[in-house]
Amino acid sequence: MAKLTWSPQAIADLESICDYIARDSEYYAKLFGQRLIAAVEAIPGQPYIGAVVPEYGMEDLRERRLQNYRIIYRVRDEAIEVVTLFHAARQLPPNRSTD
């Protein structure tokens, strides 16, 4: 199974999402954070089951969704890197660097 890593951006995104939810409920922020982490940890088992990110069309850049959030990750030879997490209502800029 591929090694899973989180980019600094993805870690910051997770914290930001949970902080935002916690404004209304600490309980649901913790619950959602746990669900998001579980979804990410399942990726290495079937990395190509996620859709290609339409904004980029790159075969190695994939996404899975959890409720209203997109989990963007890169598939490498022996590793999966979580690139970013964000609300699905937002769009990635078409020329955004993901390296």
Please name the amino acid found at residue 84.
Answer: T
Pairing status of strand 79-87 against strand 69-75 = antiparallel
Give the model's pLDDT for residue 1: 74
Residues 32-63 have pLDDT tens digits of 999 999 999 999 999 999 999 998 989 999 99
Instruction: Specify if 55 maps to a domain.
Output: yes
In a domain, residue 97? The reply is no
- Asked if residue 92 belongs to a domain, the reply is no
> Is residue 99 in a domain?
no
pLDDT at 77: 86
93 located within any domain: no
Domain hosting 8: range is 3-87
Count structural domains, the chain: 1
Burial class from Cβ neighbours inside 10 Å (0-12, 13-18, 19+) for residue 26 reads exposed
Residue 29 has pLDDT above 60, yes or no: yes
Contact assessment for residue 43 and residue 1, using Cβ atoms and an 8 Å cutoff? no
pTM above threshold 0.75: yes
Residue 59 lies in a domain: yes
Residues 84-88 have a mean pLDDT of: 93
Looking up residue 41, the CATH number of its domain turns out to be 3.30.2310.20
DSSP string, 11-31: HHHHHHHHHHHHTT-HHHHHH
Q: Is 10 part of any domain?
A: yes
